[in-house]
Structure 1
Amino acid sequence: MISLKKILLFLYDSFAEFEIVTLLTALKGTDYTLVTFSTKSEGEAVTGLSTMRYLPALSVNDIVVDEYAALVIPGGSPHPLLQNQELIKVIRAFYDQGKLLAAICGGPSLLGAAGILQEITYTASLEPADLEYREVMNWENKRSELLVIDKNVITATGSNYLQFAEAVLRKLGAVLPTEENPLQYFREPSLS
């Protein structure tokens, strides 16, 4: 029997680490395992927005969607990947199987490339003036909100990474429903 306690994280050149680091840190205290992947060949590094280099565990061709509970897509500048059919197939499979999809900042554009933004309301840190994305974004379904949850999809603006992390944790059941502020440590400085 396959355990669905694995979360897939898509890494690509220019991905914005700060938008997902709180979520990844909070996941360390759960029974979920994080698995990274990219569209590059196995063993080839990606460079994040900070210029730090990361070595994803898998290539997109290695992904078996049935093994994962969720897919997280960070923001950055994913426009070079909008035509990557292997990636689009993986994203679409998560949606079609009702698995959790979580995309922040520019990440929802990859949902758009998979046709998902035609079926849900969403938010993103993208506007119609961002011409690289005009072919995939359904601007009519975009909401002027910091966080939108529709069906099995969570989207957020890039600066709203704490609320994004909390929404993902709640959707995964990784925090108790009664816990009012599971990320308090990240919101307010303390001496601990």
Structure 2
Amino acid sequence: MGKILCFVYERMADFEMTLACHMLGWDPEKQLVTIGYEKAPIIAASKIQYLPNISVKEAINQDDVDALIIPGGFERECKDELVELVQKFHSEKKLICAICAGPEFLAKAGILNEHLYTTTLSEDYFKENGIEDCFPRQNYLEEKVVRHENVITAKGMSFVDFAIEILDYFKMFENTEEKEACAKAYKGE
């Protein structure tokens, strides 16, 4: 059974990944596993409490993992063990997905130097907040969602497109028409 690791952390924007998780649950071969820095409850931006199944350190040695999903959020502490996990998955060509501010973790792990990407975090955001911009801006695309090889990134309000692109990566649609119809249905179009 292929595991999908979902990184949960304090004040994460959980809505950005819950649709993807819901849809991945359609596949009985996929197992969703929440990971956190500690196996202790966290409170998301929605005020919903999450309890990670395993720690990020434990996730590094997990077998049968297909993907990692990282939502955006407001307290984006990037610890060494998450950098190690992202780099390991990248070297193994496993799917790595990040949305909104989540790509900041990928930038800090150094993998966006090799991939086209998008993010909600602009150059102005870093300037206005007096923070060093960790993104390789030469690879940035002003798009809702970007899929480049084994990396999917999206802007925060593009969570439907993000979910659809993840499902498409796993070939969960019969064809392009089914993919487009699913996207329209979830967007209420």
What TM-score do you get using the length of structure 2 for normalisation?
A: 0.89
Aligned to 2:32: 34
Question: 1:127-179 CA distances to partner (integer Å, 9 max, x unpaired)?
Answer: 11233763421122111111111111000000001111000001012232342
Aligned to 1:147: 145
Aligned to 2:4: 7
Report the Cα distance in structure 2 between the residues aligned to 1:134 and 1:171, rounded to whole angstroms. Answer: 32
Gaps of 5+ in 2: none
C-alpha deviation, 1:187, in angstroms: 2.0
Equivalence map 1:28-107=2 (5 Å): 28-31=25-28, 32-40=30-38, 42=39, 44-63=40-59, 64-81=61-78, 84-107=79-102
Is 1:129 the counterpart of 2:129? The answer is no
How many residues of Structure 1 are paired with residues of Structure 2 in the alignment? 182
Report the Cα distance in structure 1 between the residues aligned to 2:175 and 2:36, rounded to whole angstroms. Answer: 33
Q: Which amino acid aligns with 2:57?
A: N
- Aligned residues with identical type, % of pairs: 32
Q: Which amino acid aligns with 1:74?
A: P
Gaps of 5+ in 1: none
Native 8 Å contact 1:65 1:93 kept in 2: no
Aligned to 2:15: 18
Report the Cα distance in structure 2 between the residues aligned to 1:33 and 1:79, rounded to whole angstroms. Answer: 25
Native 8 Å contact 2:123 2:133 kept in 1: no
Native 8 Å contact 2:70 2:97 kept in 1: yes
Question: 1:5-38 CA distances to partner (integer Å, 9 max, x unpaired)?
Answer: 2111000111111111211111221121100000
